[in-house]
Amino acid sequence: MSWLSDTLTSTIGRKLVMSLTGLFLIIFLVVHLAGNFQLLADDGGLAFNAYAKFMTSNPIIKTTSYGLYAFILIHIIMSIALVRKNKAARPVGYSEVKGSANSSFSSRNMGILGFIIFVFLVIHLRNFWYEMHWGAIQMDDAGNKDLYKVVSAAFSEWWYVAIYVLCMVGLAFHLSHGFSSAFQTLGVNHSKYTPFIKKLGIAYAILIPFAFALIPIIMFLNS
Ligand code: HEM
């Protein structure tokens, strides 16, 4: 198993793990967003509640969810390990840092942007995911847990919506570097494909968090 410990302790190995777990999370966000759009159906939450029941009871989705939780944790742990290793390698910073001259705002702040997403996830999972699994939620007319009621109650508070929107801005910046950086780490560096991947990454980083932010805004306006 020395290949595993070699991978998890070398800088390139850790970056590789971060890019693979990051790409999985990028796919998860698209699926999660598509499901969340059912919150906007004008049916008192029946479709969304049926969807939430399916997502928490289907054995294949449940197994994928355990992988998702593991990948989120691995992504976070690897990022902390990388930052610590970089700091240890260069305890004194560069004497001259011309930040914006050769790097983007996002690439220089991936750690803090990741931390914002982490705080978001703690709040998010406590209020929705934990409630769905272990909370005392009422049933809807179809006999499913009324998770829609929990979500719409949260999004009837302006400050809660504001937290979501701000966190989605952080997510957008994180993804704007993370998307193309993941491909670069995996060795996809080609004059033909790299410009396309960069453009796709920027489009993804704007559209997905924007659509996520739109859901609480619309629900607040309808509340
Ligand atoms: C408008 C924005 C969002 C809404 C309304 C929303 C809604 C929800 C709800 C209701 C659940 C619980 C579902 C269940 O347990 O079946 C959930 C779970 C989850 N959400 Fe979100 N979400 C949003 C944005 C996000 C974002 C941006 C992320 C990641 C950065 C995220 C990550 C997760 C994760 C990891 C879970 C647990 C999934 C699982 O158990 O498989 N969510 N979300």
| pLDDT exceeds cutoff 60 at 94 | no
Whichever domain contains 122, its CATH number is: 1.20.1300.10
Q: Is the CB of 113 under 6 A from ligand 1?
A: no
Q: Is the CB of 212 under 6 A from ligand 1?
A: yes
CA-nearest residue for atom 24, ligand 1, is 212
Q: Which domain holds residue 195?
A: 8-91+104-222
Q: Is residue 97 part of a domain?
A: no
What contacts 139, CB < 8 A, 6 or more positions away?
A: 145, 146
Q: pLDDT tens, 148-166?
A: 999 999 999 999 999 999 9
Number of domains in the chain: 1
| pLDDT exceeds cutoff 60 at 32 | yes
> What one-character DSSP code corresponds to residue 139?
B
Q: Is residue 99 part of a domain?
A: no
Helix, coil or strand: residue 135: coil
Q: Is residue 183 part of a domain?
A: yes
Predicted confidence at residue 206, as pLDDT, reads 98
| pLDDT exceeds cutoff 70 at 1 | no
Predicted confidence at residue 219, as pLDDT, reads 98
Q: pLDDT tens, 101-148?
A: 668 899 898 999 999 999 999 999 999 999 999 999 999 999 999 999
Helix, coil or strand: residue 144: coil
Q: Is the CB of 117 under 6 A from ligand 1?
A: yes
CA-nearest residue for atom 12, ligand 1, is 129
Q: Is the CB of 149 under 6 A from ligand 1?
A: no
CA-nearest residue for atom 2, ligand 1, is 212
Task: Say if CB 215 and CB 37 are below 8 A apart.
Answer: yes
CA-nearest residue for atom 14, ligand 1, is 129
Using left for φ > 0, alpha for ψ between -120 and 50, and beta otherwise, residue 103 falls in beta
Q: Is the CB of 167 under 6 A from ligand 1?
A: no
Q: CA 172 to CA 155: how far, in whole Å?
A: 21
pTM: 0.90
| pLDDT exceeds cutoff 80 at 213 | yes
Q: Is residue 3 part of a domain?
A: no
- Ligand 1 atom at minimum distance from 147 CA: 10
Q: Is residue 1 part of a domain?
A: no
Count the neighbouring beta carbons within 10 Å of the beta carbon of residue 46. Answer: 16
Predicted confidence at residue 193, as pLDDT, reads 87
Q: Is residue 151 part of a domain?
A: yes
Q: Is the CB of 22 under 6 A from ligand 1?
A: no
Whole-number Å distance, alpha carbon 128 to ligand 1 midpoint, is 7
Q: Is residue 98 part of a domain?
A: no
16 vs 5, higher pLDDT? 16
Predicted confidence at residue 99, as pLDDT, reads 59
CA-nearest residue for atom 41, ligand 1, is 65
Q: Which segment of 60-69, 85-94, 156-165, 175-184 scores lowest on mean pLDDT? A: 85-94
The interaxial angle of helices 11-36 and 59-89, nearest 10 deg, is 140
Q: pLDDT tens, 40-75?
A: 999 999 999 999 999 999 999 999 999 999 999 999
